Structures are given as C-alpha cells and as structure tokens.
Structure 1
Amino acid sequence: MTLQQIDARDGRVGEAVVENQPQQVRWSVPIALFACVLLAFFDKISIAALFSDADFQQALGISFDPTRLGLLMSAFLFSYGFSSMLLSGIGDRLNPVRVLIGMMVVWALLMVMMGFTRSYHTMMTLRILLGIAEGPLLPMAYAIIRQAFPQRLQARATMLWLLGTPLGAALGFPVTLFILNTFHWQATFFFMALLTLPVMLLVLFGLRHLKVQRVAQNQQSTPAERKQHRHELLRSPHFWMICLFNIAFLTYLWGMNGWLPSYLIKGKDIHLEHAGYLSSLPFIAMLLGEVLGAWLSDKLDRRALACFLSLAGAGVGLAAVLQLSGTYSVIAAMALSTFMWGAGAPNIFALLAKATSSKVSATAGGIFNGMGNFAGALAPVLMGALIAASGNMDSGLLFLVVTAFVGCIILLPLLKKY
C-alpha cells in the first residue's frame, strides 16, 4: 500500500491516500456494482410500463390520469435527488458495502409492498420511500470504486458499473411488459423483489475481498474531523465547478432521452418506421463512447480535458444535426454527439475523485449526483416549453447545444490542474 501526500498548494490538509496495488485490484467489484445499478433501474422505471394497464389503474382506484400516474415517477425522482445529497454521507462513516446490502434489502421489501398495494396514496408513499432508499446508490458505488481502484484505473472501473444505467433503462421496459402480459401487474413487483436475491449474492461474492480503508489516524475519523473535511469540501470552488459541469452534462442526457425520438420524427421528418430502429443507434454509440473514453482517459490521466472534449464534442455534434436534413446524415451526426458524451461519462467521476478528498467520497458523490439529477430532470420540461413557445423542434435541441458549451466554459479553469 502506497501513501501519498496531497499537494500543499491546494490549501488542503495533507492526507494519506490509499491506492491498491495492482495484484489487489479485483474487477469483480465493478461487475457486482453493475448488477446493483441494473437492478435499481429496473425498480425505478418498471412502474411506467404499468401506466396503461387497466387492472393496475383499477387496483389504485384511478382511471387513466396521466398527471396522477406521472406523479408516481416524479415523486420518486425528487426523493431520489434529496436522498442522494442528504444521506450519501453515511458511506463516509460506515462500511459502504454493508450500507449497500442494507439498501438492497429495503428495495426488496418495498417492491413486495407495492405488489400488495391497493391505494394510490400508498403507492405514492412507497415510491417516495424507494427514491430515498435508492438515492445513495451511485455515491456508494463511486466511493467503493475509489477505495478499491487506483486513480489510473478508475475511469474503466466506473465505466463498468455505469453501463447498468443505459442497459437498465433499455431492458427494464421489455422485461416488465413481458411479465405483465404473461402474468399480472402484481407479478412485476414480485419479480423485481425476487431478482434482488441473486444480485445480493453477486454483490457479497464480488465485494468479498474489498477492505474498506480508513485514512485518518487510528483508522477512524472523529466527528470533528469529519465535519472539518465536509467544510473543506463545501468551500472548494473546484468541487462546485465540477458539480455545475455535471448539471450541464446530465441536462444533455435527460434532454436526449426525453426528446430524441420525437425530434427525429417531427423535427427532421424521419418516418416512424425509420425512427424505430435508427433512434437506438445514438445510444449504441453512447455505450461505445463510454468504453473507449474510459480506456483512453485512464491511459492519459487527463480527466478534466477528457470531460471538456466530451461535452464540447457532444455540443458540436448537435449543432451539426441542426444544419443537416438527410436521414442518415442526421443520425450519423446524432451518433457522433452521443458517442462524445459517452466518452466523458466515466471520466467525470474520475475527475471528481481527483479533485476531492477521499475522506468525503460519498458526501461529494451525493451532492454531485443529486444536483445533477435535479437539474437534468428539468431538461425535458424546459425543452418542451421552448418548443411550444417557438413552434419549432430545433429550439429544444439548440437549448442542449448552448448548455453543453456553457458547461465547457465552466470547466476551463480546471483543464491544466486535473
């Protein structure tokens, strides 16, 4: 185990930073976290597949009311964001592996309870509780990877568990619809609860070698020391720059997820049968970008530059889309844009790890993730308002272009340092 002092020029207190030796690095750790993230996304989005099911509506005592049904998703997102910011600090005080297992037990219990629910208000309450229970997940995963992997491997390790996000979104709906059509709406919740068991076993197996390291004296920080570390984090302008950049970064993601198919159809007059399969190509490009971007950034160790080029390239690609009209040229430019965005996704967590103290990993990750998801979730609404006000689909995409370039400007002061 090597010890390295933080540069005193930062004005930060020197600390012992734990870096595992290569023979101690175990790739089972991010694979187990990938399964966790995949399961969480199943739990998160599967309920949306039930919105049009008459039996589900009848069980909750409502008809097809898009507003009330949509609130079941919105309530989750807001509680998720608050939880990510407020509760993730427990990973800096407790063993994050044990916290992770405890969280999964709560997820399973909540899914079982949802399967037995016969009240809209009860379902709303359970969705809020699920958001609270899932909020610390990504910060926990970030903290575990930071403890288990040296800086030179963190982007690749992060990329592995981050793949659970797009794959969870892509697989969650068809799996839920299959269960719904084969059995009953209740079975969808029970299946998700049952799926928790093998994922928990995989997590226990994959993380069995992980030893949570303490970097304070006597392997344990005092409450006063932890408070001081949090104050240093909250006073760090570099930390807030990265958080603001992440807001722009996730605004792009949520905006694309919300409006890409509609933009291709209504904004570029691409026929529906084409958009059906062509609209998935940009997200395939995004996955490829995550893999290549993680590998390249780990080799160069220029985290801020990798994030800057990623979002700048995404913005340039979208700007090109606005100028093009041919179906395949539009899809190619869109794929280039999403590929560039994907290249930065693992690196932004590695940048956060490089710019913040390891003693507050979960706290930093929670604020970073919570703020980004709060702001990013507003992107589809803002884009919709712009489109409605202008009567032009391009105005929504232009919003993402401007946001991307603003995010790049915010990151400029960090390019040389990180």
Structure 2
Amino acid sequence: MKSSVHESNQKDDGGFSGDSSGKASDVARLTVFLLFLAWVIDYIDRLVITLALPAIGHQFHLDKAEQGLILTVFFIAYAASQVPGGVLADKIGAKRTMIVALGTWSVFTGLTGLAFNYVSLLAIRAIFGVSEGMFPAASMKALSERIRPQQRLTATGVVFCSNSLGAALAPLIAGPALAAVGWKNSFLLVAILGIVMAAALWKFLPRTLLSADASEPVRHAASLDLRSVLTSRALWLIAATFCGYDIVLWGLISWTPSYLMEVRHINVRNSGILTSIPFFVGTIGTIIGGYLFDRFFHNKMRRLIAPAMAVSGVFLVVMIKATTVGQFILWESCAIGVSSLCFMPIYGVPLRLLPQDFAGAGMGLVNFGGQFAGALTPFIMGAIADAFSFPAAFSFLLFGVALAIVASLASPQTKKDFDAAFRREAPYPALAQ
C-alpha cells in the first residue's frame, strides 16, 4: 500500500512512470535540465537588487544599513519559509509547490520595480522572500523523486552549479539593464523569465519515478516523524555549517557591487562584469567539490570542508587588504572558488541519508541555516560599513569561516553516525529502538 505522500505525488504529477533504465535516464536528464534553469532564474531574480542598491539608496535617501535591510528582510522571510516550504512539498507535492513559488516570486520581482517608497519596497521584498523560500526544499524533493540514489548526488551537483552560475550571470544581465532602462524597469524585465519558467515546469517536468531503490533512508520512513527530523542536532549542525559558508557567500554578493561603485568608482555596467568573475570561478569550484565529495570524502566531509574554509579565510584576509580593484577581484575569486568546494559536501550528507518522505522538510532545515546567514549578513555588514569602512565590513566574513569549520568538525560524517544521532535524539521512545 502506497503512503499518502506517494499518493499525493501521483496525483500531483499524473502518476508514476515506468522504471526501465532508459526511461529513468531520460527522466533524470530532463529533471536536472529544468531544475538547473529554474535555479538560475531564482538567483538572477534575487540578485538584480544587489547592483540596484546604490540607485535605490539614492532615490529613497537610504544609508548603507537601510540598504542592507532591504536584503535582510528578504532573507528573513526566505529563511522562515524554508521548512514550511519543505513540509508543503511533502504534503501537496513538489511540482505544485515549485510552480506556485515560481509564479508568485516572479510577480513580486516585477512589483519591486513599482515600489513607491522604502516601506513598500520592504513589504514587497518580504513577500518575494516567502515565495522564493518555498522553492529550494521542493526542488530537492522533486529531484529525489525522479533520480535514483546512485545518481542523486551527481545530479544535485549539476543542479546546484546553477547557484554560482546564477550569481555570475545576474550582474551581467543587471548591469546593462540598469544602465539602459533604470532600476525600476529592470525588475519588470527579469520577472518575465520566472513566468516562462513556471509554465515550462508545469508542461515538461517528468512524472515521479518509483522504484525499489527510490530512497536510502536512515531508517524506514514509517519509523521517523517530522518532529524527529526538525529537532535533530545532526541536521542543525549541518545547517550551522551551511550558515557559516553562506555568511561568506552572501556577504560578498551583497556588498561587492556597492564597494566597487562607491569606493572604487566603477560604473554600474563594469561593476556587473567584475562582480560576475568570482562566481564563474565558484561554479567550477562547486563541480570539483561535488566530484571530490562523491569520490573521496563522502564519509569524511570535515576533511574537505574545514581545510577549504580555512584556505578561503586566508584569501579573504588578503582580499580585504587589496590596494587595487584587480587584486580585490583576484583574491575574492580565489576565496569563492575554494569555499565553493564545500557546497556539495554540506548538502550531500542529508541528501544521501534522509528518507524520501522527509526530504523536503530535512533539506528545508539545512537550507534554513544558509538563509539565516543571508538574513543577518547584509544588515550587519551595512551597519559596519556605515560606522567604519567597507574593509571592516568584509572582515565580518571571517566569522562565517570559523563557524563553518567548527560546525563541520562536530557534524556526523557517515551513515552510521547519522543514524546513531537520529536514534539518540528521537523525541519518542519508539523511534530510538
């Protein structure tokens, strides 16, 4: 008898496909392609505002802390909706959840360009954050339902290369758009991409793939409940690792464009080009990190994460002390490239080990850690820049380096450790047996 979750997914996606090897491969390829495009658009939509911040600040007479709050309010809403988005995907299906998220965030991307004052802009970005926050866990659940376990980490690595690629493409798109049509019209233009992508997911996302090896649970899903997933110390440690990693990432994404324009006096078009360079390097780092984790570090992620983050911290220190734009971008590229090696290892452990029935909620919890970093970092760095300087603000990134190292060292490393942690932490005696 199928579980209620599988029944809802069958209704969601129109039934299960066959499980032949050829069909499974076709499903995997199309799923990865569509989710990759959706994530690229996700990043473009959310990052256009980083290049628009100086113009927005000028129009609404905002200091850097107030500009940072525009980013922070998005991330607060985005972080808060990670777990609810995962639960919603588990309940009504990943496909429905993704389409609702994409359509809604695209509307509010466009509405950003229609904001008439600072308060309306904050409100729009908060709702934008809620709608984007429903997408990540749902997309990971959609992936786990359509990709066999032995292919899942590789597929996830390909999909999540979109994060760095989207971060690289966003300034290349936003810079010329801002220069040509202004910040308001730029948001209206990029909103169209999301509407088109939502329609593509609805039309072309394959049906779920059900097979005997569809998941590799820590225990049978029936022996887990949502509370045991959401209160797991093991998952919270992985979330804290992701938080540290994302303090570095979102700090650089949020404030590098403003630094280049306001301190180095680079125009918006050229700032977009320079801002994109480190994230093309990060795309390569994400691919390499996924390969290294899959081949050598899948049972010892700390041996990859801790050294990579430490080396990234050294590059950040040199970046902060850079005296020219070229040096700054060079060392930023090195820092992002090396830290990006950690992205797939952070995601890899829970993605491999959580049961499919709780993949949405579990990955939502891990992603919450990263987005909590996004909620704190732009505002804190903006306040530091107002009070001191941009170099002082960039020094805050070293706290993220330290957090990622400490949390990764404390996290479970193997399936045995992960399973033991769940059994110790189970809120009900039956789960610990």
TM-score by length of 2: 0.71
Q: Distance in 1 between matches of 2:65 and 2:317?
A: 32
Q: Distance in 2 between matches of 1:183 and 1:353?
A: 42
Quote the offset at 1:125 in angstroms.
1.8
Aligned residues of 1:88 and 1:136 also touching (Cα < 8 A): yes
Q: Distance in 2 between matches of 1:51 and 1:376?
A: 16
Quote the offset at 1:165 in angstroms.
2.0
Secondary structure of residue in 2 paired with 1:50: helix
Residue 239 of structure 2 aligns to which amino acid in structure 1?
C
Which residue in 1 is equivalent to 2:197?
199
Structure 2 unaligned spans of 5+: 1-16, 213-220, 419-433
Quote the offset at 1:321 in angstroms.
6.8
Q: Distance in 1 between matches of 2:406 and 2:141?
A: 28
Superposition pairs for residues 244-323 of structure 1, below 5 Å? Answer: 244-257=240-253, 282-300=278-296, 302-306=297-301, 308-319=303-314
Quote the offset at 1:333 in angstroms.
7.5
Which residue in 2 is equivalent to 1:403?
403
207, 211, 225: which one aligns with 1:210: 207
Deviations 1:220-278 (A, max 9, x none): xxxxx9996202213433223322222233233234546779999xxxxx9x9xx9988
CA distance 1:226–1:107, change in 2 (3 Å)? farther
Deviations 1:377-416 (A, max 9, x none): 4346667889979998696465344334313321266487
Deviations 1:42-70 (A, max 9, x none): 2222234334448993xxxx335544444
Quote the offset at 1:89 in angstroms.
0.8
Superposition pairs for residues 58-137 of structure 1, below 5 Å? Answer: 62-137=60-135
CA distance 1:367–1:312, change in 2 (3 Å)? same
Q: Distance in 2 between matches of 1:263 and 1:21?
A: 53
Which residue in 1 is equivalent to 2:352?
354
Q: Distance in 2 between matches of 1:238 and 1:20?
A: 33
Q: Distance in 2 between matches of 1:397 and 1:96?
A: 34
Q: Distance in 2 between matches of 1:389 and 1:182?
A: 33
Which residue in 2 is equivalent to 1:240?
236
Identity within the alignment, %: 22
Q: Distance in 2 between matches of 1:55 and 1:254?
A: 19
Q: Distance in 1 between matches of 2:48 and 2:389?
A: 34
Quote the offset at 1:90 in angstroms.
0.4
Higher mean displacement: 42-51 or 121-130: 42-51
Aligned residues of 2:168 and 2:276 also touching (Cα < 8 A): no
Secondary structure of residue in 2 paired with 1:183: helix
Q: Distance in 2 between matches of 1:381 and 1:285?
A: 26
Q: Distance in 1 between matches of 2:377 and 2:299?
A: 24
Structure 1 unaligned spans of 5+: 1-17, 216-224, 265-269
Quote the offset at 1:130 in angstroms.
0.8
> Over aligned residue pairs, what C-alpha RMSD do you find?
4.4
Q: Distance in 1 between matches of 2:178 and 2:389?
A: 40
CA distance 1:40–1:286, change in 2 (3 Å)? closer
CA distance 1:307–1:147, change in 2 (3 Å)? farther
Residue 199 of structure 1 aligns to which amino acid in structure 2?
M
Q: Distance in 2 between matches of 1:118 and 1:326?
A: 38
Aligned residues of 1:321 and 1:330 also touching (Cα < 8 A): no
Quote the offset at 1:157 in angstroms.
1.4
Which residue in 1 is equivalent to 2:215?
none
Q: Distance in 2 between matches of 1:50 and 1:79?
A: 20
Aligned residues of 1:310 and 1:340 also touching (Cα < 8 A): no
Residue 46 of structure 2 aligns to which amino acid in structure 1?
K
Which residue in 2 is equivalent to 1:145?
143
Residue 305 of structure 2 aligns to which amino acid in structure 1?
S
Residue 309 of structure 1 aligns to which amino acid in structure 2?
L
Q: Distance in 2 between matches of 1:263 and 1:189?
A: 22
Secondary structure of residue in 1 paired with 2:207: coil
Aligned residues of 1:229 and 1:359 also touching (Cα < 8 A): no
Q: Distance in 2 between matches of 1:391 and 1:408?
A: 29
Q: Distance in 2 between matches of 1:48 and 1:326?
A: 22
Secondary structure of residue in 2 paired with 1:118: coil
Aligned residues of 2:289 and 2:342 also touching (Cα < 8 A): yes
Which residue in 1 is equivalent to 2:431?
none
CA distance 1:51–1:279, change in 2 (3 Å)? closer
Residue 283 of structure 2 aligns to which amino acid in structure 1?
L
Quote the offset at 1:362 in angstroms.
1.0
Secondary structure of residue in 2 paired with 1:305: coil
Quote the offset at 1:281 in angstroms.
5.8
